[in-house]
Amino acid sequence: MAFRRGGDTLEKLELIYKGAEAYLFKSTFLDTDVIVKYRLPKPYRDPLLDRRIRRDRTILEARIIARVKELGVPVPALYMVDPEKAIIIMEYIHGIRLKELINHANISTIETYVREVGRSIGIMHSAGIVHGDLTTSNIIVKEGTPYIIDFGLAQYSDELEDKGVDIHLFLRSLESTHPRFVDRLFKAFMKGYEEIVGSRGKESILEKVREIRMRGRYVEERRLRKQ
């Protein structure tokens, strides 16, 4: 696969992630390490509809990344967007995923990182932006700064439900992969979040998270009863 625009050429792509919605490649562009995200066509959809969906989703993701960066949240820089090809070229963040750091670094240091993530999400939520897939795998720490990545499911929303889902997903990722540190890290996250949204905003979102968790337990209990 090669991508050309104007006099610039992007080639020798190294596939680093193969997902259901998109492939991620590592490459170089203008002598800079980059990630190339290519949204895959869906053969079961009408070709014209598929092209429009992939185009619109690419535009939305790029706009959200640009807006979040304007807000001061550490995210990859955008280098090029081609909506017609459903391609985004963005900065490759040289760092370590938070998921990997948690089990190897000093827990107090991790708390500092997670608190900053909480602040970043508080800033995004205050601006009406939700991430949609907030896990410790989608946070990369570079030189002491946690960067939020993968905005493929991000959207504009002021709904408390959508914001609650963000927080719930982060809590679930802690519970599933870092059970020893759940309480400390979630507390640090919410402390950072509260610094942006205030105590009332924090309590509202925590109430929504509790509601989401209760709904999940209810569905699981009904599923088990039917077995």
Q: Which long-range contacts (CB under 8 A, 24 or more apart) does 183-189 make?
A: 184/107, 184/111, 185/102, 185/110, 185/111, 185/114, 188/111, 188/112, 188/114, 188/115, 188/118, 189/114, 189/115, 189/117, 189/118, 189/121
CA distance 63 to 7: 25
* Contact (Cβ atoms closer than 8 angstroms) between residue 135 and residue 170: yes
Residue 191: phi and psi, rounded to 5, are -65, -45
Per the annotation, the verdict on 46 as an active-site residue is no
Site of tokens 């989608």: 138
Q: Which of 133, 150, 162, 166 is catalytic?
A: 133
* Contact (Cβ atoms closer than 8 angstroms) between residue 169 and residue 134: yes
- Active-site annotation, residues: 133
